[in-house]
DNA sequence: CAAGATTAAATCGTGCACGATATTTATGAT
DNA sequence: ATCATAAATATCGTGCACGATTTAATCTTG
């Protein structure tokens, strides 16, 4: 009974790890010019979609908890990208909103998307289908 | 000219980020019982495939550099999973090899793969095709 | 209303990821 | 042989991710 190892090339986990790294590597130089990190960019994406979310809502959108988000958001506040304010209705909750600077970066996100599309070097429908498959994969993994 | 933001749900970068997190989340409790982290498990996968690789070779396989690998490997050495030794042919290079303990964990990797397959809840061919698409995606992104 | 339970953020400690730099060993050109 | 260069790890500082715990506000229930 051989217990031959499954090579990296057969591991879905490594495919995801590798692709996620490669994507981060593609974004890094572009984001770096804006003084942004990759997770900070994801926070901006979430806020461009809906401004004024609480830390908990952001966490739900990005699958992160306050132990990760709080320091990250503080750095973004220090960089004048967002404001953080306790909610009046519920003093436990902190509302995160975009500054003018944070809003102004939204235009760049389209350049980035175009750059990714270019890197993919395949037609849009194929890329969209793959994206949906990956989201679906994430959903299945989370459910398990 | 609207500059409407691209929502998270349309971002391939977030799909990968999310799926990678979900996969890590699935592995975490299983690996935790073995005292392993997810990147440490990837190192083991690489070594089960070919034992005795140098730090640089491991880095090439996993897309990591010595600044990440060296401390990680030292922790794995401290946990008696691997040995690190300078090569005699070239004293610059460090060869990483599995201990008995490190080898013995290989059997578990098959359970993990089965667990992932079960979580996917879809037939193997579909999963394999998706894996190849994701590897291909990573390759395109890296080339760009 | 008061006491306990629940919820939302924050804090703390550890490990990973990476840019920049340092250190050590090997190689190459003269 | 010597010196410059290159190569392989290692070190350092910053930021992300997460388990565990803490703090403060709110809700619940007697």
Encode pLDDT of B73-113 as tens digits.
999 999 999 999 999 999 999 999 999 999 999 999 999 99
Scanning every residue of chain A, which has its alpha carbon at the shortest distance from the alpha carbon of B3?
A: A107
Which pTM was predicted? Answer: 0.95
The residues, any chain, with a CB within 8 Å of residue B16's CB and separated by 6 or more, are A16, A19, A20, A23, A134
Nearest nucleotide (CA of B37 to C1')? C15
Which residues of chain B from 121 to 140 reach within 8 Å of chain A, CB to CB? 121-122, 127, 130-131, 133-135, 137-140
- Helices A12-33 and B12-33 pack at an angle, to 10 degrees, of 130
**Nearest nucleic acid nucleotide to A74, CA to C1' distance:** C10
CB contacts of A10 in chain B (<8 Å) are 131
- What pLDDT, in 10s, does the model give residues A75-131? 999 999 999 999 999 999 999 999 999 999 999 999 999 999 999 999 999 999 999
Q: Does B26 touch chain A (CB under 8 A)?
A: yes
């Amino acid at each position: 009974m051989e217990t031959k190892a499954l090579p990296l090339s057969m591991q879905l986990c490594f495919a995801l790890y590798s692709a996620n790294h490669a994507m981060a590597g593609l974004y890094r130089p572009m984001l770096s010019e804006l003084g942004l990190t990759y997770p900070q960019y994801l926070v901006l994406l979430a806020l461009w979609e809906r401004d004024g979310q609480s830390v908990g809502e952001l966490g739900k959108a990005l699958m992160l908890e306050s132990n990760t988000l709080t320091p990250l958001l503080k750095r973004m506040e220090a960089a004048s990208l967002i404001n953080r304010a306790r909610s009046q209705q519920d003093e436990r909750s902190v509302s995160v909103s975009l500054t003018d600077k944070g809003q102004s970066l939204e235009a760049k996100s389209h350049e980035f998307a175009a750059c990714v599309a270019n890197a993919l070097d395949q037609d849009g429908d194929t890329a969209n289908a793959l994206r949906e498959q990956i989201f679906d994969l994430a959903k299945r993994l989370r459910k398990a």
